[in-house]
Structure 1
Amino acid sequence: MKFTTTIDINSPIDKVIALFDNPDNMSQWMEGLQSFQHLSGTPGQPGAKSKLRFKMGKREVEMIETVTVRNLPHEFTGTYEANGVFNIVKNKFVKVSEDKTRYITENEFQFKGFMKLIALLMPGAFKKQSMKFLQHFKEFAEKENH
C-alpha cells in the first residue's frame, strides 16, 4: 500500500527542519509515543537504528527505525519495522514562502501474516494515522513559531 500525505505549516522552513530534526520533540507530535531509544549508528544519520515504543489504545507497539537517507530539507527517509508491518517513510519539506513550509510524506506499507488482513479490512486507518502525525506536527511547529 502506497500513499502520500501533505500539509502546509505556517512557519519558516529552517524552523520546521530544526523542530523535525530534534528527536526530543517527537513526543510533542507523535501521539502515543512512550519512548525513543537510540540503538546504534550516529543518531539521525543513515544506518542509525532506534527503538520506538507506542501505546495505541490498549495495544503496545514496538518498532525499529532505520534511517536510510538524510538530505534535509529535501529528504529524510527511514524504515519502520514492527510485528507484521514494514513501512518506508520519505519526509520532504518545501519552502512555499518565507513563512510557510509544505511537509510531504510518501508512505509505503508492506504487510505479513495477520496484519495483511487488518490492512485489507481497514486500509484507511494507516493513511489516517499518518495524516494525524502531520496535523500534530503542524500544530506543534506553529505553536513553537510564536
Structure 2
Amino acid sequence: MTFDDEIKIKISQLSDPPKLIDNWEDIADKLSDSFNWKGSKIDWKKTINYKSSQLFGNYSNWVLVIKKFIYDNEICAEIKKSKVIYYINDSSLNFAVQLTYKQFDNFLAFAVENIPQHHYFFDSSNKWCLVISSEGYVDFGLSQKNLQT
C-alpha cells in the first residue's frame, strides 16, 4: 500500500470527509500562476496583508498555534468567504483535497499531524493562500494578481 493510499483511507474515515481530486495538476498550476514565486516558495513580500508565525513543539502543538494564528489575524474571515478551499501538498501526495469552510479545521489538524512536507490551503479563485511549511512556519497572504472582492 502506498502512502497516498494510506492517507486516502484515513481521509475517508474523517467524520465529514472532503472530496479527493486525483487530477490535481491544473489546480496546482492555477495556484502557481496566481502568486509570485521565489524559487520553490511563494514570495510573501509580493503578497497583500502578509502574516507569518513560527511554529514550535510537536505537530499537535502546531495545530493549536496555527488555529490561533488564523483567528488572531482575522484570516478566518477570508477562509469563511470561500465556497471551495483546496489543499495540496508539496510532494508527499499525488492528489488534491477539496474542502468547505465547515471541513477546514478538522482537515487542517489531520493534514498537519499525518502528512509530511509543506501544506498549501487556498481558495478556488486563488485569492489567498495559507502555507504551513515543514520548517516550522505558517504564512498567509493575498494574491496581488487575483485580488478580487
Task: Point out the structure with max Rg over C-alpha.
Answer: 1
The TM-score, its normalising length taken from structure 2, stands at: 0.32
Larger relative helix fraction = 2
The TM-score, its normalising length taken from structure 1, stands at: 0.32
